[in-house]
Amino acid sequence: MNTTARLSLLAALLAGAGMVSTSAMAATAVGTANATVLTPIAITAGTALDFGTFAALTGGSVIIAAAGGRSATGTVFLSPGNAGSPASFNVTGDGALTFAVTYPGSFNVTHTNTINTMAVTVTGAATGALVAGAATLPVGGTLTVASGQLAGSYSGTYTMTVEYN
């Protein structure tokens, strides 16, 4: 084999070795990426929490059950003229997800004179579940009535929070 032939053979071997080396050192594959965007949870106030009409006498408490119904402790005298009602909140969100409910601490309802108050605590379920993206959250409460509580109308506000579990 002459010199020219030897060089040609060497070049061919090098070229072949290079091609083999390239395919063995790298590879590719197709992966997938998924994401689910939840519908944000939302809550809006429905009916108000109403403790109804009563006489304080020497005091006690008025209790509105979340499921409905009113009762009293102490000497508080309930008038059936306005039996009160629980509150309701409307929760919307994603599908059938569940959520936790955070109730506020004690808050006050205040007489129209802006001076006299009564303490309120609200209660209800600790969790809820959406059905087709919606749920109604009933809320009851306990109103503490002092002896000789000043007659008149009292009102106040409170904040309810829901969060996906």
Partner 1 sequence: MMSRAARTATVGAGLSLAVALTGAGLEARAASATGSASATVIGDIASLPITIRFQASPVELVAGGVRVRLTDDRSGPGAGSAFGVTLIGVDETGLASFSIAGATTSSYVVRTSAAETSGPAGLAPDGASPNRAEAGLIYPAEVLAEGQGISIAVSQSGGSPRELTVMVHYN
Q: Which residues bind partner 1 (CB under 8 A)?
A: 38-45, 48-57, 62, 77-82, 84, 87, 89, 107, 109, 118, 120, 122, 139, 141, 143, 145, 148-164
Closest C-alpha among 39, 141, 133 to residue 90: 133
- What is the three-state SS of 101-115? EECCCCEEEEECCCC
Cβ at position 5, least distance to partner 1 in Å: 47
Q: Which is nearer to partner 1, 42 or 131 (CB)?
A: 42
Instruction: Give the three-state DSSP class for 117.
Output: strand
Q: Which is nearer to partner 1, 8 or 155 (CB)?
A: 155
**C-beta of residue 45 within 8 angstroms of C-beta of residue 122:** no
Q: Which is nearer to partner 1, 18 or 81 (CB)?
A: 81
Q: Which is nearer to partner 1, 8 or 161 (CB)?
A: 161
Cβ at position 159, least distance to partner 1 in Å: 5
Cα(143)–Cα(158) distance, rounded to whole angstroms? 13
Hey, what amino acid is at 7? L
Terminal Cα-to-Cα distance of the chain (whole angstroms): 81
| Token digits of residue 69 | 């119904």
Cα(118)–Cα(95) distance, rounded to whole angstroms? 39
Cβ at position 26, least distance to partner 1 in Å: 25
Cβ at position 162, least distance to partner 1 in Å: 6
Cβ at position 13, least distance to partner 1 in Å: 38
Q: Which is nearer to partner 1, 21 or 44 (CB)?
A: 44
